[in-house]
Structure 1
Amino acid sequence: MDIILIVIIILNVIISFKAFDDQMFFNKYKFQIGSIKAGEQIRMVTSGFLHVDIPHLVFNMFTLYFFAPIIISQFGGISFLYIYFGSLISGSLLTYFFHNKDSYYTAVGASGAVMGIIYSSILLKPGMELLLFYVIPIPGYLFGIGYLLYSIYGMKAKRDNIGHTAHFGGAIGGYLITLSKEPHMIFDNTLMVVLLAIPILVLFYLFKTNKL
């Protein structure tokens, strides 16, 4: 495993476990609209290293562990970091855009960054398959699209602090950064490029029509 990926996973684990035992630490670094408006923009990055609980952390890190090597083998470790943090920040920016009128809105999780890695990986390796529940083989693109559609449900339900909106922002970040690095994909793999854009377009339609 690449050392850069190991460091990212370790940072997520250490910071998340610190926050599990220290509510003041969690509150200080989580994504919160009111605090960001007050000048604490650092929360747009630090919130991506916090998690609601251990299952949330494990799911994100396991997913990152599976998809990240595809990007690292194609682009190298530095470009992986660029996509990871670019997706994290784009996830926070979209969350801010969608929820900027709600000063009390909060969210945490590496899901935005991880979703960007997923989308980038699917574009690079569109034929990949995953084992759903370790048993059922499914195409990777169905996992990515399904994850985003589930995120729409999470946004509507508003039952947790997980950054569901960030999933979309992260996906957009990973999608655009990868296409900017490999623009030929738009013509060589048009169907996959269009399929991955569908849930993003659905989100903006729901937002525009006030159905979120």
Structure 2
Amino acid sequence: MVSILLIALTIIISLVAWQKPDLMGKMLMNPYRIQHRNEYWRFVSSGFIHADFTHLFFNLFSFFFFGVQLERIFNQLFPTFASELYILFYVLAIVAADFPTFNKHKNNPNYNSLGASGAVSAVIFAGILFFPLEPIYLFGVLKIPGIIYAGLFTWYSIEMDKRSRDFVNHSAHLYGGLFGIMAMTLLYPKVWISFVEQIMSLLR
């Protein structure tokens, strides 16, 4: 499975980067260096490194459950090139999620960010389009429908991005989620028919 390979690759790269600070520094999302030194690889490389084990675990824990499910959907909808399209979706999500941050901080040499949060958010929101009522266990305990989780997640990301006190790129969560919705809409517009039908079923 591509999802498992992406998880394994992210774990390996993160573990190696923790042992090699110089490598970590070269892979960070640093908008200033991208803008002024043309280090464009940072758009992608930053999505495969994490700050610490907790950061790594929670991103990959979420990705495992939603990623495996979304990959199956890709296999059903696009059987000829599902793996290639799924990988492209994931990588583009990393870039798209960080692009607004790049524009905002491209003249700030001290700004750095890292993590797969943008891509994971894209996978989560794309999956929610197919299964909006599928239960999500927040913190592994609180059971809520996917559509409710999406609303809470969006509100939280916007509010935390305004405060910018915890050094986490919350806008990457938000824009990653938006990318997931837009990409899935372009790839399979009929998803909205199923989405609306499932939401309307709550009112019956």
Match 2:85 to one of 79, 83, 103: 79
Cα contact 2:43–2:98 (8 A) shared by 1: yes
Pairs within 5 Å for 1:1-212: 2=1, 4-37=2-35, 38-76=37-75, 77-190=83-196
User: What is the one-letter code of the residue matched to 2:43?
Assistant: M
Please tell me the root mean square deviation across aligned C-alpha atoms, in Å: 2.1
Deviation string, structure 1 residues 11-70 (Cα, Å, up to 9, x no partner): 111111112222211111100011101100100000001111110000000000010122
Deviation string, structure 1 residues 111-153 (Cα, Å, up to 9, x no partner): 0000000010000111210122333210112223323333234
CA distance in 2, matches of 1:113, 1:34: 22
Q: Does the residue aligned with 1:102 lie in a helix, a strand or coil?
A: coil
CA distance in 1, matches of 2:159, 2:52: 20
Cα contact 2:32–2:105 (8 A) shared by 1: no
TM-score, length of structure 1 as denominator length: 0.81
TM-score, length of structure 2 as denominator length: 0.84
**Number of paired residues?**
191
Deviation string, structure 1 residues 43-102 (Cα, Å, up to 9, x no partner): 000000111111000000000001012211111233322221121111121221233343
- Flag the 1:180–1:171 CA change in 2: closer, same or farther, 3 A: same
- The structural deviation recorded for 1:161 is 4.3
Of the structure 1 ranges 136-145 and 160-169, higher mean CA displacement relative to structure 2 is found in 160-169
Of the structure 1 ranges 94-103 and 165-174, higher mean CA displacement relative to structure 2 is found in 94-103
- Flag the 1:52–1:160 CA change in 2: closer, same or farther, 3 A: farther
Cα contact 1:72–1:79 (8 A) shared by 2: no
- The structural deviation recorded for 1:186 is 3.8
CA distance in 2, matches of 1:31, 1:191: 40
Q: Which runs of 5+ in 2 are unaligned?
A: 76-82, 200-204
User: What is the one-letter code of the residue matched to 1:106?
Assistant: N
- The structural deviation recorded for 1:158 is 3.0
Q: Does the residue aligned with 1:131 lie in a helix, a strand or coil?
A: strand
Cα contact 2:30–2:109 (8 A) shared by 1: yes
